[in-house]
Amino acid sequence: MFIIDQYPLAVIFCIVTMLAWGSWANTQKLASPTWRFELFYWDYVFGILIFALLFALTAGSIGVEGRPFLEDLDQASLGNLSYAFLGGVLFNAANILLVAAITIAGMSVAFPVGIGLALAIGVVVNYLDSPVGDAGLLFTGVALVALAILLNARAYQRLSQTRNKVPAKGLLLAIVAGCLMGLFYKYVALSMFPDFSNPLPGKLSPYSAVFVFANGILVSNFVFNTLLMRKPIEGEPLNLKSYLQGHRKNHVMGILGGVIWCIGMSFSILASDKAGPAISYGLGQGATVVAALWGIYIWKEFRGAPKGVPAMLNLMLLVYAAGLSLIVLAR
């Protein structure tokens, strides 16, 4: 299987992760305005599973290092399969709430608050499990990220006040999503053998782990998304007929969104071997800056904001970038 053998290459893979995780939500924006996020999310999950399988059968099955995908999956222990599957369940619970927050509050709010919180929690949790990198630099970077979250939340609050909107629902969904999102990566990391060039009995390769993780997302989606369709956060209840009546473009956008996100996840997992789980996850969550840039400058989500808000947003981006830089330097 293909593996990364140098830290600089691992950083490049993390940057690809950052771009992918920060850009997939554009596919939701590009779908029809009447295409509800619950319906979009089914195709998004299918896209994740499709890419995870194709990547495992190709990059995960070539070369002389590691263990080929199907052979690796066959020898995995139930405990490690359960860890990767649980990671998928936790991620799905978090991400479906994040997509709802994007629908209500926009990319430039949901990502900095939800994913920024996930970054702070995820870096701490993953570092405690695998303490790789300089703790001082790493946690100073996390502190700066937390400051950026507060700046963004304040900017959204000021914008909402001018539009007579209450920001509570969008912010609350993003906060709950962030708390759950910060936990999933740990379980995927626990399921894998730590040195990707030296397979351990019962442990999963990064490709097998991502595939099992994707199955956890799919299976749990039949519970989480079905409940949301019947008891939606906003709007009328939905059913299977609503999904089947969707235009081809809407389905394609959802699948594309899932593929883009899974590229980011796969690259992040591959990079974790040389970068360490805490740094790999933390740098990948620089997606927040990418998403905020999309939301602010392309989708104009803060158009008409009161005086002082643009400066606050620019400061937020600078503080966030500084935090991410320290996370990279921590290795």
Domain ranges within the chain, ordered by starting residue: 7-329
Alpha carbons within 13 A on the beta-carbon side of 172? 5
- What are the residue ranges of helices labelled H in 130-247? 135-162, 168-191, 206-230, 240-244
pLDDT (mean) for 166-176: 78
Q: Which of the pair, 140 or 109, is modelled with greater confidence?
A: 140
User: What pLDDT does residue 167 have?
Assistant: 54
Rounded percentage of the chain residues whose pLDDT exceeds 70: 97
Per-residue pLDDT, averaged over 110-131, amounts to 83
φ, ψ of residue 24 to 5 degrees: the values are -60, -35
pLDDT digits (tens, 9 = 90+) for 273-295: 998 888 888 788 777 778 778 88
How confident is residue 108, by pLDDT bands cut at 50, 70 and 90?
Answer: low
Structure-model confidence comparison of residues 166 and 238, the more confident one: 238
Q: Tell me the average pLDDT across 185-195.
A: 93
Mean pLDDT value of segment 325-329: 85
Residue 313: predicted pLDDT: 87
Q: Are 269 and 55 in contact (CB under 8 A)?
A: no
Does position 303 have pLDDT exceeding 70, yes or no?
yes
DSSP state of 133: S
pLDDT above 70 (res 23): yes
* Residue 160 in this model has a pLDDT that exceeds 90: no
Place of tokens 């539009």: 163
pLDDT score recorded for residue 104: 80
Most confident of 136-145, 158-167, 183-192: 183-192
**Overall average pLDDT of the 78-97 stretch:** 95
Q: What is the pTM for the complete model shown?
A: 0.87
63 three-class SS: coil
- Measure the CA–CA gap between 196 and 128, rounded to whole angstroms: 20
